[in-house]
Chain A
Amino acid sequence: MSSKKTIALVTGGSRGIGRAISVRLSDSGAFVFINYHHNEKAAAETLRIIRDKGGDGEICRFDVSDFTATQEAIRNIIEKKGTIDILVNNAAVSVDGLFVRATEQDWNDTIDTNLKGTFNCCRAVTRHMMKQRSGRIVNISSVVAEGGNAGQTLYSASKAGILGLTKSLARELGPRNIRVNAVAPGFIETDMTDSLSEENRAKIISQIPLSRPGTPEDVAGAVAFLVSMDADYITGQVIRVCGGIYT
């Protein structure tokens, strides 16, 4: 690593997978901006964990689904730190339920945060990354983007959109040394999966070749790899962190 501090932004960094990614990037030496929307306490807790381990960062509130607010927040980061090297688009909502009962609002909420949020953040960093001739973007998708899942039609659609965005953006920005990849987690134990019944949980786990649910740290490891120099020739790819469940 160069002497200059690497600057990273993790959206939805307050809890779950986003928290693990924030901590892991800090472990690798980055100064991490922990974005959150509602839960300031949880974001502060992520920062506390980072500082306890000797790292540093900052919490930063904005709604990724708001184009203008996102542009402004990321411009502030670049002005303050002089750069942004790593963007991890992790912020997501999941409005699960049977499609036949899905509302327009459910669709809009899901697409606005998950897919448009990814667009908003990518759009806000590309100009700077193009100028500096380097950048690393990792978008968090999901195995349901490719395999589908009953009850998660809207979520799957938003996560599949992220894969198309990732692959096209990788092609477009490759000549400027900006790498864009995706990580597709499988069944990872977080607040988002807490609502599942014990029965459903057991059923899912029985289908996982590695016979256990994943942890946020499992996902964070793949993200840390993709933004590292070890992955310097990897762009436009999807790494599935799913214990082999993908079909």
Chain B
Amino acid sequence: MDIEAINLTKRFGNRVALDNVSFRFSGPGAIGYLGPNGAGKTTTLKIFSHLLRPTYGKALINGIDVADGYAKALESVSALVETPEPYPKLSIKDFLTLIGGMRGLSREETTSRIAELKEKLSLEDLAVQGAKLSKGHKQRVALAATLMSDTDIMLLDEPTAGLDPAETYDVKKIIKELKRTRLVLMSSHLLDEVTELCDSVAFINKGRLLLTDTVKNVTNKFGKGKAGSAGLEDAYLKIIKGG
């Protein structure tokens, strides 16, 4: 299980969102994708989930170019990008059933997976329509949709955004479980979360990939002798801001 960017470039008119980004991550494990707002994190994840097409370069999932063979490539990927929500007029159950169907799950597999995720993510009443959900509940439903099938690779864009501490705890627990057997690439602004969950980190700013290394090496090199999230915070400032 691996994802690879080869000279990945994305332009929106004159604005360069991604500038010649190259990396290769192999799993299992979790990689934190760090950078300020507008750095290019979401753009990268969107290209790997075929929501955007690269202007130049390649995004490969298990060796398959997403731009050329997205249907095949996406069989190995589950993506939670930006802040997706279920359809306002569709119940949680119907929405998850749709995703199960699109993933090729049988009716029985879909039903049992929904029951499992209901428990894991405290989804409460599955008959509630998308429009009536709170922000945190919408995020949990979106995460449930992402977890509907057993894919090798998980792309998570700020997976705990909008969640309360208890919900955040549940999601972090799930990510810890996932990373044992799968490759998780997650963007986040929460450095304590990244320190807790990720094995490696990649720093991006202004569309350019600045550094990829293990969390341990990064904190050792740039963390001014501090351990944990404090060390990563110093490293972040040093690498991103040059401070």
Q: Do A and B bind each other?
A: no
A interface, CB within 8 angstroms of B: none
